[in-house]
Structures are given as C-alpha cells and as structure tokens.
Chain A
Amino acid sequence: MEGLFRFIHFTGFYNMTPGHIIMIMVGLFFIYLAIKKEYEPLLLIPIGFGILIGNIPFWENIGLQLGIYEQGSVMNYLYMGVVKGIYPPLIFLGIGAMTDFSALLSNPKLLLLGAAAQVGIFVTLLGALALGFNPQEAGAIGIIGGADGPTAIFLASKLAPNLIGAIAIAAYSYMALVPLIQPPIMKLLTTKKERLIRMKPSRSVSRTEKLLFPVFAFLITAFISPGSIPLLGMLFFGNLLKESGVTDRLGNTARNALIDIVTILLGVTVGASTQATTFLKPQSVLIFVLGALSFMIATASGVLFAKLMNLFLRSDNKINPLIGAAGVSAVPDSARVAQLVGAKEDSTNFLLMHAMGPNVAGVIGSAVAAGILMSILMKTIAF
C-alpha cells in the first residue's frame, strides 16, 4: 500500500500546479504556430516540445535526476551546451557555411544598415536599467533586439544565466513573428514613393573577394571587439569552408548535419529550461515587453538610417528604405519581409537580394554588439 502511495505522489497529476498547465499550453501553442502557421517550424517545434518536456510535473529533488536543473540528469548535461555557450558558436558555424556574402560585397555600404539596426539593443538596455534590472541582465535583455537567437543565448549565458530561458524564448518568438511585427513599422516610416524605389542591379562579385572577405572581416571585427570571437570566428570560419572550394565535405556537414543536430539540442533544452517554477515570474513578462520594444526600435532605426543615407546618395543610386528593416538580422525572414512589403507596392521590384546585404550585416553587427556588451558588462561596474 505504501508503494502505491509513493507512486501516486510521484505522478504528474499529483505534482501539477497551474503554472505547469500554463506552460504546457504555451508549448502546445508554439507547436500549433509551427505546424499550422509555419512560423519558424525548425525552431518552434523543438522549443515547443521542449516546453512540454520541461513542464511535466514530478517529485523534484529526491535524487531521481530527471529535471533539467537537477545535477546529473540527461537534460542537465544537454543543457550545459546552452549554459556554457557551446551551441551558439556551432550554430554560427553552420550559418557561416550557408551564407553568401555576395549581396553585401556587391554593395558594401549596406553594412551600415546592419549597424543602424543594432541601436535597438542599446536603447532597450537603457529601458531595462530604468525598470530595475541590473546592468548584466539589462545587457542580456537588450540583445533580443539583435533578433539573433544564438547571439541572445550566448550573451545571456555569460551575463545573466538566470534569464536564459525567458530571453531565448522571447528572442525566438519575436524572430518567428517578424512577418507580423515589422511590416506596420516599415509602412509607418516610409512614403509610397520611397517604397517604390528601384535599386541598381548588384554587380557580380569575384571569387577572390568572396575568399578574402571572411578572413579580413574576422580580423577587423575581432580586433575591435574580441568578445565576439566565438561567434564571429565560427561564422567566418564556416563561410571560408563554403567559399574556399576545397572543403566541400566540411562545409556540407557544417550547413546540414551539424547545424541540424545543434538546432535540435538547443531548441529542446531551451524549451525545457522554461520550467514553470523558474520561468513564470513577473520578470519574464517584463523581458517579453522589453524584447518586443527592442525589436521594434531596431526595425525603425534600420529604416530611418536608410532614409538618412538616401540624403547623401545620388538620385540613381538610392536605397529602398524597406531593406533597412532587414538589418535586424533574423536571416532570412526579415529580408523576405522587405521583399514582400516592396512587392505589394510594385510586384516587379525585387528587393530580396538587396535586403540580404543588411540582413547578413545584421548578423555581424549583433555579434559585435554582443561582444561589446560582454567586454563592458562582465566586469563589475557600479551604476
């Protein structure tokens, strides 16, 4: 009889709290969004199912080593890849191996749009400080505006490991919601005439340029911001594997098998880290609000900076300000959004290739910003 009681005490039904039910609903909602609406399914399915895994209630801390936060459990070992910042650089390796920098190299001034969109990160940092977060937490929350999941997780793991779950979920949720968040801001800040601007066709980029770019881009950015070495090092290394033409096997593995494996592990463990007992706090709601704000400011600053650049450009060389929104990273969704919004005004105006320039510049920019925040905030600063 005692055994039966022990079993009942151990079941999920006995240990269930309203928080667990809420989180399970959130997980199911993510899976629904991924399958029905096809919003970032490669991320939302692992994260959604991870939320289910992490929120099955059980009798904690009796030495069964089941929970993600229990030392020695399988999930805990897998979660180490997030906590120690191992997965994000590996994801960057895969991203590098699948990124074509031609669009950026053919029109390098678009790099500045990638920088402009990072303003959102630093404005949100100020907002988070004003709301009472400590500087490290504020920096980790601000990076959500970089719209780069791996970068957000990497920085959060270094500055505010206690907030990784909320920051990762916010970053990936907003990345999935790019097609809903960005268009109203883009339309609000541009005139119809601006949205109709046709950009000059891209010039063809030589192989030498493609080969030299990853090497020199890494050297320049890493010397300026050494904190971004793990991310940018792997990004440009992956790109060199792709462009060198002599490491096809390695490039293929990086952009297919490796990134898939790491995405699965990252998604599931980040999802599972949202245990109701640690995740459902007022702090998490604030992070979501600040994350949305950060994303909006980043989009707006990209668009506005493109308009500013147009003031100094010749009339035959203007930039369509819609592609400024692609500077928020979120590859390639935000570039696709720029194309779609532009195509609504003129279906023969193809902005996708132009938008890929600021889009990949945004990846570099957000990694540089993460490196800067890490190098400044890892030290103890009295505010």
Chain B
Amino acid sequence: MEQGITIAVLGVSIVFASLAGLYLCVKIFVRIIEFMKFGNVRKSENVTQADMMISGEVVAAITLALQLSREELHDMEKTILTMQRITRPYSPWSSKVYGIRKPAR
C-alpha cells in the first residue's frame, strides 16, 4: 500500500509536470510569435499588448456587419439571365398561315 501511495504521488506529480511544461512552452512560443509579428511595431509606436488585442465584442460586431453586408448583396447573387424556353405549338405572330398563304390585301 505504501508503494501504492508512492505511485499515486509520483503519477499526479508527473501529470502536473508534463502539463505545466506544456503550459510554459505555449507561453514562450506565444511570446516569440508575438514578438516576431508585432515586435517592431511596438518598438516604433510604443504599443501595448492590450492595444494589439481585439475584444470579443468588436469581433462579434465585425462578424455581424459582414454577415449583414453579405445578405444585402442579393443583386449580385446571379449574373446569368434565366430565359426559359417555352414550347408553344401555335402563335399567330409567327404563323405561316397568316404570313404566306394569306397575304395582306
């Protein structure tokens, strides 16, 4: 049982250590990536991290505006004219009977 307790303590510690290690790595990578992306901008304009972040509300507003804008573009939906062929067996406008056999007097 004592060794069981040892395994439990060791196991919990290793799980924490590996996920804490992962946490630190992600933190460091994010810092490096942010520095590579925005480092120069921040230096020149003295911009803080808070300035670089876009809040969730702003993202939601932009998304909504884009969605509404796309829905408004109904005129651009189709650029192909849809002319349907209609089969009509008879029409006096194109009738040969009126056009040839009975010429206007």
Residues in A lying within 8 Å of B, measured CB to CB: 105, 108-109, 111-112, 114-116, 118-119, 121-123, 125-126, 129-130, 135, 138, 201-204, 206, 208-209, 212-213, 216-217, 220-221, 224-225, 361, 364-365, 368-369, 372-373, 376-377, 381-383
Measured between beta carbons, the chain A residues less than 8 angstroms from B30 are 105, 108, 209
B37 to chain A, nearest CB (A): 8
Pair B29/A383 contact, Cβ less than 8 Å: no
| CA A125 to CA B11, docked complex, whole Å | 11
| CA A109 to CA B19, docked complex, whole Å | 9
Measured between beta carbons, the chain A residues less than 8 angstroms from B55 are 201
| CA A347 to CA B10, docked complex, whole Å | 41
Pair A201/B56 contact, Cβ less than 8 Å: yes
Pair B14/A111 contact, Cβ less than 8 Å: no
Measured between beta carbons, the chain A residues less than 8 angstroms from B18 are 115, 220-221, 224-225, 368
Pair A125/B7 contact, Cβ less than 8 Å: yes
A143 to chain B, nearest CB (A): 11
Q: Does B97 contact A (CB under 8 A)?
A: no
Per-residue A-contact encoding for B1-29, CB less than 8 Å = 1, 0 else:
10111011111101111111111011101
Residues in B lying within 8 Å of A, measured CB to CB: 1, 3-5, 7-12, 14-23, 25-27, 29-30, 33, 37, 53-57, 59
Pair A125/B4 contact, Cβ less than 8 Å: yes
Pair B56/A202 contact, Cβ less than 8 Å: yes
Measured between beta carbons, the chain B residues less than 8 angstroms from A217 are 22, 25
A1 to chain B, nearest CB (A): 61
Pair B56/A376 contact, Cβ less than 8 Å: no
Do A364 and B19 form a contact, CB below 8 Å, given A121-B11, A122-B8, A383-B3? yes
| CA A131 to CA B41, docked complex, whole Å | 63
Pair A111/B1 contact, Cβ less than 8 Å: no
Pair A112/B16 contact, Cβ less than 8 Å: yes
Measured between beta carbons, the chain A residues less than 8 angstroms from B29 are 209, 212, 216
